[in-house]
Amino acid sequence: MSTNLHKLLNRKSQAKALAVIAAFLLLSGCATTTNVQQIDKLESIGEDPRIVLMPPDIRYYLLTASGIPEANAEWTEAAKTNFSKALLDYADTIGADVRTISADNMSPDEIQYETLHSAVGLTLLTHHFGYTKLPSKAGRFDWSLGPGVSAIARNHAADYALFVYYRDYQASGGRIAFAVLAAAAGVGVSTGSEHGFASLVDLKTGDIVWFNVVTAGKGELRNADDAAKTVDALFKDIPTASGTPEAE
Amino acid sequence: MNNRFPTAFVLIAVLCGSSALASDEPLDHKIPPGYEPEEARDEQGLWMELEEMERTLNKSALLVRDPDINNYITEIVCRVAGDYCNDFRVYIIRNPGFNASMTATGMMQIWTGLIVRANSTDEIAAVVGHEIAHYTRLHSLQRLRDIKAKVAAGSIFDIALLLTTGYNTPLGQLTALMSVLSFNRQQETEADLLGTRMLAEASYNPHASYKVWQRIIAEEEAAAVKRRKPSLFAQTHPASEARASYLESLVISNYGDDDAEEVTDEKLLNILNTHYLFLMEDQLDTNRFGRTKELLERHRSIGVEPSLVYYFYGEMFRQRDEEGDKQLAMDAYLHSVEAGGAPGDAYKNLGYLHLKTGDTVAAQVQFRKYLEVDPAADDRAMIEFYLEE
């Protein structure tokens, strides 16, 4: 409905938003699992395997009556804070050594890998979990960010990197009123969505060794309690040094 | 049936009317220097996204970090901006296109393609003035609000029409779209007008504001492959011709005829001469030979070092490689090396062209000169192999 307007807006973030929504729509239509695990436990060349948490790429939007999303700074800020805290708490409970790096201190390479991760993640959602499977992959999960990521290992003395992507579109009152009106006319319009994914990347090879998706209804990061629930759901199967934590 | 179309016309009138230029409002800056976003939710969100974008841009491989070029452009920006100088961060982007942009947060991007297209520092200042005017008039935020309001109104109209008449059409949305486009064009005109005023106030030549567009028109005419007619969506800017002509009459009526002699200033010439190789390499890589040739002719006439300009003539003909281009390329390289101060590659590429025509002796003469000019050349071993033959 608003495709033409997106063209007009010419904003990369919104094009990306459309891509991810499309990918998740594909996902929600099929019953396959969204968790992929390539390794049983973490390994390290040092004493204990260390994970570096890349600055989570989280953004909240208000879906306005027009259907055009409006970035919300307050929600995004709260979500980033809540998410990082919940993740570090969770890491403690499973005994994982997770270090965070600040978004202000990233090297040019690290910024590029964040962008690459989003691109690879969205691609594999479409082509691994979605309907448009790639015949040459034959169902294999061999997605990688490439061995260049070893630069991140050197910068942070880490064995693995955890990348997180999350987008949340909350409908405004006006949007909901419009949706009701549209429904009366038999037209369905979007009233928001929430979705995200996380990848654990082996910094020796760049391979994605663990991947999970959080879909609609499971994610809400604006308050601490819900953020903790989202984090639990997202990371419940992440491998640790002693193996995969028991599902609760 | 009877009342459908009148309703549509009312909507069109409302949407278009709301964007008509309020001519009684004096055209001035809307925000003070050092502006911070208001408590408005949409403005805060816009700033957050832009600040994130700037963090990424700061680390971009396409940023030109050379202090010489950065100082040159920042000086122009500060002179045009006046009291607003500290509101801006200038980023010079390696891109051969003609463009500059400004965000609501004061992140200004200048493409290197603008630098190679200017005949004077004043012309760069003219583009800078236009961009600063977008900033001080809060255009990005207005545009965001305009789009949201109009699309919401248009969508509600479409649904209401569907509910009341059963007639399913995107008429409201299309009308909104047209209205948004017209609003964008109007902002461009505002930025032209205010930008020209700032240019004159900063003692740059206001006539540069339309001359920069005349250059673009000249380049367009020289293009080997003409650009297709711009689509509806691309028509957010007034066409170059219209822009050049209304700016010209405006500037002449406000500031009189241009009595200044057209001489390219030393500052711009110095930048072009010092950084010509990378600036023009990007242009050459576009493979738009008609345009590149027009730029080279212009650079020759404004006084860029002939050895540099002819080197790129050589490169252009060599890469185009049409009938007769080999000879044209050899002539150009020869011009370049005879002018003195040619880049080493002029000798080398001339040498290779001699080799291709079978003139090994002439090739070796040029290869020897190449190694004299560039003793640490990466391909020294290869060249020495040809010298031994």
Both B274 and B322 in one domain: the answer is: yes
As a whole number, mean pLDDT of residues A197-201 equals: 93
Cα–Cα distance measured from residue B196 to residue B273, given in angstroms and rounded to the nearest whole number: 28
pLDDT band of A41, cuts 50, 70, 90:
confident
Which runs of consecutive H residues, i.e. helices, occur in A29-167?
73-94, 108-124, 150-156
Both B70 and B124 in one domain: the answer is: yes
Question: Do B182 and B201 form a contact (C-beta atoms < 8 A)?
Answer: no
Cα–Cα distance measured from residue A83 to residue A92, given in angstroms and rounded to the nearest whole number: 14
Q: Residue A8's CB: how many other CB atoms inside 10 A?
A: 19
Per-residue confidence (pLDDT) for residue A24, from 0 to 100? 56
Question: Do A72 and A60 form a contact (C-beta atoms < 8 A)?
Answer: yes
Q: Does A94 touch chain B (CB under 8 A)?
A: no
Per-residue confidence (pLDDT) for residue B184, from 0 to 100? 86
In sequence order, the 6+-apart residues with CB closer than 8 A to the CB of A86 are A224, A227, A228, A230, A231
Q: Which domain holds residue B375?
A: 266-388
Q: Residue A102's CB: how many other CB atoms inside 10 A?
A: 7
Per-residue confidence (pLDDT) for residue A69, from 0 to 100? 92
State which of B255, B277, B300 marks the end of a domain. B255
State which of B232, B255, B278 marks the end of a domain. B255
State which of B221, B255, B289 marks the end of a domain. B255
Both B114 and B147 in one domain: the answer is: yes
Both B14 and B82 in one domain: the answer is: yes
| Structural domain contains residue B121 | yes
Whole-angstrom CA distances from A154 to A66, A99, A150, B27 are 47, 14, 6, 55
In sequence order, the 6+-apart residues with CB closer than 8 A to the CB of B318 are B325, B326, B329, B349, B353
Residue among B41, B155, B180 with most chain A CBs within 10 A, to mutate = B155
Both B229 and B110 in one domain: the answer is: yes
Of the candidates A171, A190, A5, A183, the residue with the CA atom closest to the CA atom of residue B159: A183
pLDDT band of A244, cuts 50, 70, 90:
low
Q: How open is the CA angle B230-B234-B238, to the nearest 5 degrees?
A: 85
pLDDT band of A234, cuts 50, 70, 90:
confident
| Structural domain contains residue B261 | no
- Asked if residue A43 has pLDDT above 80, the reply is no
Both B228 and B286 in one domain: the answer is: no
Both B229 and B338 in one domain: the answer is: no
Both B251 and B274 in one domain: the answer is: no
- In chain A, the percentage of residues whose pLDDT exceeds 90 is 43
Both B234 and B293 in one domain: the answer is: no
CATH number, residue B318? 1.25.40.10
Both B221 and B297 in one domain: the answer is: no
The lowest-confidence range among A12-16, A183-187, B49-53, B380-384 is A12-16
Dihedrals phi, psi of B106, to nearest 5 degrees: 95, 20
Which runs of consecutive H residues, i.e. helices, occur in B166-265?
171-201, 208-222, 240-255
Could you list the pLDDT tens digit for every one of the 389 residues in chain B? Answer: 344 444 444 444 444 444 444 444 568 999 999 999 988 999 999 999 999 999 889 988 899 999 999 999 999 999 999 999 999 999 999 999 999 999 999 999 999 999 999 999 999 999 999 999 999 999 999 999 999 999 999 999 999 888 888 888 889 989 998 898 888 888 988 999 999 999 999 999 999 999 998 998 888 888 877 665 554 444 555 678 888 999 999 999 999 998 878 889 999 999 999 999 999 999 999 999 999 999 999 999 999 999 999 999 999 999 999 999 999 999 999 999 999 999 999 999 999 999 999 999 999 999 999 999 999 999 999 999 999 87
Both B88 and B217 in one domain: the answer is: yes
Number of domains in chain B: 2
Nearest by CB to residue B148, choosing from A64, A71, A184, is A64
3-class DSSP string for B263-332: CCCHHHHHHHHHHHHHHHHHHHCCCCHHHHHHHHHHHHHHCCCHHHHHHHHHHHHHHHCCCCHHHHHHHH
| Structural domain contains residue B54 | yes
pTM above 0.90, yes or no: no
What H or E segment, with its residue span, contains residue A168? strand A160-171
Asked if the Cβ–Cβ distance from B44 to A185 is below 8 Å, we say no
Both B251 and B276 in one domain: the answer is: no
Tokens 């973030």 found at: A13
Q: Does A247 touch chain B (CB under 8 A)?
A: no
Per-residue confidence (pLDDT) for residue B237, from 0 to 100? 58
Residue among B15, B46, B48 with most chain A CBs within 10 A, to mutate = B48
Per-residue confidence (pLDDT) for residue B2, from 0 to 100? 43
* ipTM of the prediction greater than 0.90, yes or no: no
| Structural domain contains residue B260 | no
Per-residue confidence (pLDDT) for residue A25, from 0 to 100? 53
Cα–Cα distance measured from residue B274 to residue A70, given in angstroms and rounded to the nearest whole number: 44
Give the type of residue at B72: Y
- The whole-angstrom distance between residue B140's C-alpha and the CA centroid of its chain comes to 19
Cα–Cα distance measured from residue B94 to residue B371, given in angstroms and rounded to the nearest whole number: 29
Q: Residue B323's CB: how many other CB atoms inside 10 A?
A: 6
Query: Chain A residues with CB inside 8 Å of B41's CB?
Result: 62, 70, 72, 74
In sequence order, the 6+-apart residues with CB closer than 8 A to the CB of B37 are B43, B44, B46, B47, B104
Asked if the Cβ–Cβ distance from A66 to B149 is below 8 Å, we say yes
Asked if the Cβ–Cβ distance from B152 to A65 is below 8 Å, we say yes
Q: What are the extents of the domains in chain A?
A: 3-235
The pair of three-digit structure tokens given for residue A33, joined into one six-digit string: 């699992």
pLDDT digits (tens, 9 = 90+) for A143-162: 999 999 999 998 898 999 99
